[in-house]
Structure 1
């Protein structure tokens, strides 16, 4: 920083401090992260002061109502870089950290990992990145509570004990089938094989293979058909996109990435993406996108990734 002006130096330190606050407050901070932070903080008295200031701001941001906090993939513009950094990280404060869900769960996966687990009845559940389930079996039924994320179920048939997956607002009931359930902004059910009855209050829909159901913003249960195999290709470590807007693609990549990905402008967000990518190395996917699309990618403090058009 010797060649920087005082203003540039302060800006750089503020960005680094914001990144460290976000990193250390995340659900998957490691001992190595904490060692690196201690080294960074000890290098300069200004680092400690900036970290304290950003920690206070982070605490204040935590009081912002969820309804006004940006969510994953939200585009932001018209702010300074440090402001963008905090807007990008604010999604963590508005969302659950995941610690409580993992504590309550019987099976879970960390960010970027996919896990396959055998249940007591012979059913198999595959958990997508950052997902958690709770298993509640009794003599009458087999219930799975999807606490967070997304899961795919290969259900062992047993007509006497229905297999029920409870999302945040819906239930998906099957008697021997293959289907996925996802919770988040809206519950979503996707059927690969067999039949699944999806209920929300008095609303009910029976899905066949290729059928999908989702709650809309008004609490209505909507059904459609789609490429369930492609949408659940994450089971084999692949992410498949076909002409989707870059903003949607980055929001999906963000789920597998240790950090935050923020799109800065509508032009970049609207670019179309098609391809098959590996879910295990999101940094490599971002490099491929930068090489093939008119975008520029900037990484701040090794934790927040900004994407803009060029």
Structure 2
């Protein structure tokens, strides 16, 4: 099976028996919240290969885990209040064993019911992209905002401000002259994030949300970064900054081109393989496991994002690695010399 992709087509319209959903939940808890060893990985692999329904149940678990993993508990539940509360309560009661994993329970319920809930941010957004999708939004003020994979934004315009709220993901902004003020740009162009506000000073820049901060890379002009509870920092063209809630600091250069995705590529320079696979996984649904023995392998080059399977195939041709597909949603990367071991013991 090493290096061979398992043929599997998602079956989004079929109903998965609840007992299989609960089995998938048990495996997901082991994989995402426990210590994973060879025994667990082999067990999951055997369970996946035993039935296409098992693979579909696991695919739904993975999709829900990815979409809800960063959602704040309180805000997500407020967003989901339109859901039938009585049905939700009953199903939560049947899963008391998972009560400590509240968010996890929510996506389990969604999977059982067959719904494909978007992340909570998408429910609040004006414009969104799915995993692997990119989109260009032409705004009312002639500014252009490009949305990267799995991104959500809202637009807010009033007499005094032009404001984009970045709820999720990553954007590239090219500000335009505001027609509402005769092109004099008297209304500030702002990008708000969970960590603070960015003010564009006639500029072109990218913003990416992380778990604890937002990173800003400026290609033209300048951006004023205002933390929620700290002093501002102005970042000029060719530089970058990190915006935390309490402060803003200059950022070191990346080992990839931050705006490369706007051209549909991931352009990297001596990026460790594990980090490269993490970046690539943003553009596909599922998991990419990187074996420790190749985690630090330096990767350089330009990889197209439109087809991540082709990117993985090219990586295998140019690096001493082996790519193993368990399913379309479970991919592992090993050293080429360890391919036989990967067949027997990998996830």
Q: TM-score, normalising length from structure 1?
A: 0.73
Contact 2:256 2:266 in 1 (8 A): no
Q: Please tell me whether residue 243 in structure 1 is matched to residue 270 in structure 2.
A: yes
Identify the residue that residue 236 of structure 2 maps to in structure 1: 208
Structure 2: distance between partners of 1:227 and 1:261: 22
Q: Verify the 8 A CA contact 1:210 1:226 in the aligned structure 2.
A: no
2:169 equivalent to 1:141: no
DSSP-derived class of the 1:308 partner:
strand
Partner Cα distance (1:148, 1:207) in 2: 22
**Corresponding residue of 2:105:** none
Matched residues in 2 for 1:197 and 1:155: separation? Answer: 14
How far apart are 1:290 and its partner, in Å? 1.6
Question: What is the CA–CA distance in structure 1 between the aligned matches of 2:21 and 2:240, rounded to whole Å?
Answer: 48
Q: Cα 1:69–1:191, aligned 2, differ >3 Å: closer, same or farther?
A: farther
Identify the residue that residue 205 of structure 2 maps to in structure 1. 179
Alignment of 1:18-33 (within 5 A): 33=11
The alpha carbon displacement at 1:301 in A equals 2.8
* Contiguous gaps of at least 5 residues in structure 2: 1-5, 46-57, 72-116, 179-184, 339-347
RMSD: 3.3
For 2:70, the equivalent position in structure 1 comes to: 95
The counterpart of 2:170, out of the listed 143, 147, 150, is: 150
Q: For 2:300 and 2:326, how far apart are their aligned partners in 1?
A: 27
Q: Is there any run of 5+ residues in structure 1 with no aligned partner, and where?
A: 1-15, 21-29, 42-47
Distance 2:37 2:225 in 1: 39
Pairs within 5 Å for 1:1-310: 33-35=11-13, 51-57=20-26, 61=29, 69=33, 78-82=38-42, 89=62, 92=66, 94-96=69-71, 98-158=118-178, 159-185=185-211, 186-200=213-227, 201-215=229-243, 220-224=247-251, 226=253, 230-265=257-292, 267-309=293-335, 310=338
Separation in 1 of the partners of 2:318 and 2:305?
A: 18
CA distance in 1, matches of 2:236, 2:259: 16
CA contact (8 A) 1:210 1:228 kept: no
**CA distance 1:292–1:77, change in 2 (3 Å):** farther
**TM-score relative to the length of structure 2:** 0.66
CA contact (8 A) 1:191 1:228 kept: no
